[in-house]
Amino acid sequence: MAENSDLDAVETVQEIDARGSFCPGPLMEMIRAVRDSQVGDAVAVWSKDPGSRTDIPAWIQKAKHELIGVQDKDGYTRFVVRKMH
């Protein structure tokens, strides 16, 4: 997984601000975005929900995509995922 500083350099096709959304909202928003993007695209989701810390990496693993990195920002977490298939 990329370090915080490296993650800022990853180009994303979409930044989803799901900070106003509660579990499972951020996960569902990320799933929709990954489904609608192209193979190879990177997508980021911002979440304030503590459940996302486990749910989002677990889903990425199950769906066989790549978790590029997880960043702790100012009061929220940014997850960056690459669509692999």
Partner 1 sequence: MPEEIVILGGGVGGTLTANLLDKRLPKGSARIKIVDPMGIHVYQPGFLYVALGLANSGWLSRSLRSLLRPGIEVVIDSAVKIDAKSKKILLERDGELSYDRLVIATGSYSDEQKVPGLHEGSYNFYSMAEAERLREALNNFTGGTILIGIAGMPYKCPPAPVEFAFLLDEMLRKRKIRDKTRIRFLSPLNRAFTIESASKMVQPLFEERGIELETFVNVDTVDPEKHELTSIEGETYSYDLAVLVPPHRAAAFLVDSGLVDKSGWLAVDPNTLEVVGQEGMYGIGDTTNLPISKSGSTAHFESPVVVEQIRRSIVGSNTNLLSSIGRIKRRSVSPSKLRYKGKVTCFLETGHRKATILIFNYDKPPNPPKPSVVWHLAKWFFNRIYWITVPRGRV
Residues contacting residue 85 through CB under 8 Å, at least 6 positions apart: 39, 64, 65
Sign of the alpha-carbon torsion through 37, 41, 45, 50: positive
Which residue in 64, 72, 74, 75 binds partner 1 (CB under 8 A)? 64
> To which residue do tokens 């799933």 refer?
31
Tell me, residue by residue from 3 to 32, as one string, x for binding to partner 1 by CB under 8 A and - for no binding: ------------------xxxxx-xx--x-
Contacting positions for partner 1 (CB under 8 A): 21-25, 27-28, 31, 34-35, 51, 54-55, 58-59, 62-64, 85
